[in-house]
Amino acid sequence: MAQTPRHEEHRPEVLAALLRAHPIATLVWSDPQGRLQAQHLPMCAEGPSAAGKLVLCARVSAEHPLAQVGEQEAMAIFQGRQNYVGPAQQAGTARWNHLAVHARGRLCVHEEPAWLQQHLTSVATGPWASPHAIWRGCRGLALRVEHILGVWNTATGVDPAPRTAVSASPPAMPQRRQATQPTNRHRSGER
C-alpha cells in the first residue's frame, strides 16, 4: 500500500464514491496453509461499526474456501477508472492514469441467520427482494477496515487537470495494433 504522497487520496467522501461506483473488489486473504489467495467479489460498505470503523460486507456460498477461514487480516482492492495518456495528449509522457482504493482490516465469517438476513435484505432488489431462500446456503464476510487509502495515480506532477479528468470521464483504452493481437484459431472455428 506504499504510495508517494502526491498519489494518495484520503477524503472519505471521495473514497466512498469509488466504492459505490466500482463495488467489485479483489479480496486478498490467506488459506489454511498460509498461501495468499485472491477472490473477486462484490463488497458493499456498511457501517461504520460500533467502533466507528467502515465495514465492507459480502457473501459467499457455504462451500466456498472463504467460508472456512477463521478471523484474519485481509485486504480488499477496488479498481476505479483508468485511461491511457499518450504523448499526443500530454507532451513528453506516456502513462496509465488509474484510481484504486486499498482497504485493509480484519476479516471474519458470519453464519448467524440474523446477520445474513440483514445483509441480504440491504443489498437485495427486484426478484431477490425476499432473500430467505438463499441465506441458508450462504456465509457472510465482514472486513472491519483498519486502514483505507485511495491511490489516485494520475498525472499530478504535470498538470492537475488529468487528476480530475480520470475521475469524471469514462476510461479510454488504447487500441492494440492488429499485428500484436493474439489469435486463437481453434475458438473462432478457423483451421
Residues 54-60 have a mean pLDDT of 92
Q: Domains in the chain and their CATH numbers?
A: 5-168 (2.30.110.10)
The model's pLDDT over 17-27, given as tens digits with 9 standing for 90+, comes to 899 899 999 99
Residues 6+ apart with CB under 8 A from 157: 6
Confidence at residue 60, expressed as pLDDT on a 0 to 100 scale: 93
Give the confidence band of 75 by pLDDT, cuts at 50, 70, 90. Answer: very high
The model's pLDDT over 129-150, given as tens digits with 9 standing for 90+, comes to 555 666 678 899 999 999 999 9
Confidence at residue 104, expressed as pLDDT on a 0 to 100 scale: 96
Task: Kindly give the residue spans of alpha helices, DSSP state H, lying in 46-157.
Answer: 113-123, 132-135
- Provide, rounded to the nearest whole percent, the portion of the chain with pLDDT above 90: 36
Whole-prediction pTM value?
Answer: 0.72
Q: How far apart are CA 84 and CA 171, in angstroms?
A: 8
